[in-house]
């Protein structure tokens, strides 16, 4: 049975990681992240867990529901959806000071 953090295969994950490195201009860790617990600075948003494989609305204020396909760690945390960061555009960014916990995949 496929684990939620395996929603994309390793080849696709590496392609996205390299895209993010090129776009952001600094290294992106290869270690797979299952979920992050964030306490965003956005007014009106509460602390919540963001998990690969699940869908969330308001990853930024006013954004529609999108499925998280990967989370990457660099100088900040990059939450990737099919619509944001998976080969075009920018992912959702969460700064280190908003992260309360990181759950790494096996």
Could you tell me which residue, 60 or 12, shows the higher pLDDT? 12
Strand partners, 56: 66
The mean of the pLDDT values for the chain is: 91
Average pLDDT estimate for 8-35: 96
Could you tell me which residue, 42 or 61, shows the higher pLDDT? 61
Element (H, E) at 12: helix 10-24
Distance CA 41, CA 52 (A): 21
């Amino acid at each position: 049975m496929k684990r939620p953090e395996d929603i994309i295969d390793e080849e696709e994950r590496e392609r996205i990681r390299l895209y993010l490195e090129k776009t952001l201009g600094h290294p992106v860790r290869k270690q797979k992240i299952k979920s992050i617990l964030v306490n965003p600075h956005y007014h009106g948003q509460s602390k919540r867990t963001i998990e690969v494989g699940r869908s969330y609305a308001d990853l930024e204020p006013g954004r529609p529901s999108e499925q998280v396909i990967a989370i990457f760690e660099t100088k900040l945390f990059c939450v990737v959806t099919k619509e944001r960061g998976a080969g075009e555009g920018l992912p959702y960014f969460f700064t280190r000071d908003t992260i309360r916990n990181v759950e790494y995949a096996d």
